[in-house]
Amino acid sequence: MSWDFSFSVRLEITQDQLGLRLPIALSIAGQEIETEAYLDTGASCCVVPRWVGEQLELDVESGDAINLGTGAGPMPGFLHYANLTIGELAFEDVPVCIAEYRGFDRILLGRAGWLQKVRLNLIAYEDSLYLNLHGQ
Amino acid sequence: MLTLEPKDLQKLLDELPDQRPIQHREVKVRKVEARDYSRELKWLRENAHLYRGQHLAVSGEELLAHGTDPGEVFQAAKATGKKFLMDYVARQDEIWGGGFW
């Protein structure tokens, strides 16, 4: 048995020892940052460093306090909602956890808010990620 | 084994921190014109290794700002008025264990 899939969008990913990265745009409260973000399909939700929230002039601690489980114990953060653009898809009101502590300095693309809405094909060998809206 | 009367059990539950799952908003999706980051990614492929442990702000094939403080890098790049892509270049000894859930 075999399955054939076709995709209309290819994104170039970059890889380092920390993982697979792809360029995204993230906007919160009307301010935007374009940045590379690590794809982390094992994470429940997207995690954003505190400096990003502050540079986007967000009142970081106004979000609901949440604790993310990590291999090193709970990591506190604050829940906010952001607009996330990946390739030609713009997701509005994606829940993101903004890290409370400043030591966390990279953006993780976890599952909540966007992954269930797409078909995604990752070919790390070719530095390629293919993406379509589910149902298209 | 300690057992609690229903009223005591309820009292204990009432005193626990709120652990209800968070009800997220409904996420809406729309199609937009994909942004072209090919020039920034090409520059990063060729040059990022020179800036290990630093945050970079790249616009086209131009490095607008770099340094270890991401906020300062972001502000310096923003001051140029150009659109830019932020990136972090991992140190060679840096390993990410991951494990969020």
A98 touches A20 (CB < 8 A): no
- ipTM greater than cut 0.95: no
pLDDT for res B84: 97
Residue A108 confidence (pLDDT): 92
How far apart CA A9 and CA B100 sit, in angstroms, is 28
> B1 CA to chain A: closest CA distance, Å?
29
> DSSP E strands: which ranges in B1-101?
28-31, 55-59, 62-67, 85-88
**What percent of chain B shows pLDDT beyond 90?**
58
Residue A103 confidence (pLDDT)? 82
Question: Across the interface, do B31 and A113 touch by the CB < 8 Å criterion?
Answer: no
Separation in Å, CA of A35 to nearest CA in chain B: 4
Best of A26, A35, A56, A128 to disrupt the B interface (most B CBs within 10 Å) is A35
Give the number of other CB atoms < 10 A from CB of residue A55: 20
- Residue B56 CB-density burial (10 A; 0-12 exposed, 13-18 middle, 19+ buried): buried
Residues in a beta bridge with B65 = B57
The sign of the CA dihedral A15, A17, A20, A21 is negative
The tokens for A129 are 């990620």
Q: Which residues of A touch B65 (CB under 8 A)?
A: none
Q: First and final CA of chain B: distance in angstroms?
A: 32
C-alpha A27/C-alpha A19 separation (Å) is 23
Q: What are the residue boundaries of the structural domains of chain B, listed by start?
A: 37-91
d(CA A88, CA A130): 11
Please name each of the domains of chain A with its CATH number. 25-133 (2.40.70.10)
Answer whether B22 sits within 8 Å of A79, measured CB to CB: yes
Distance of residue B5 Cα from the nearest chain A Cα, in angstroms: 31
B99's torsion region: left (phi>0), alpha (psi -120 to 50) or beta?
A: left
pLDDT for the residue B91: 87
Taking only the tens of pLDDT, chain A with its 136 residues reads 898 888 888 999 998 888 899 999 999 988 999 999 999 988 888 999 999 999 999 999 999 998 888 777 788 899 999 999 999 999 999 999 999 988 888 899 999 888 888 999 999 999 999 999 887 7
Q: Is pTM beyond 0.95 here?
A: no
Number of H helices, E strands in chain B: 3, 4
Residue B100 and residue A9: Cβ atoms within 8 Å? no
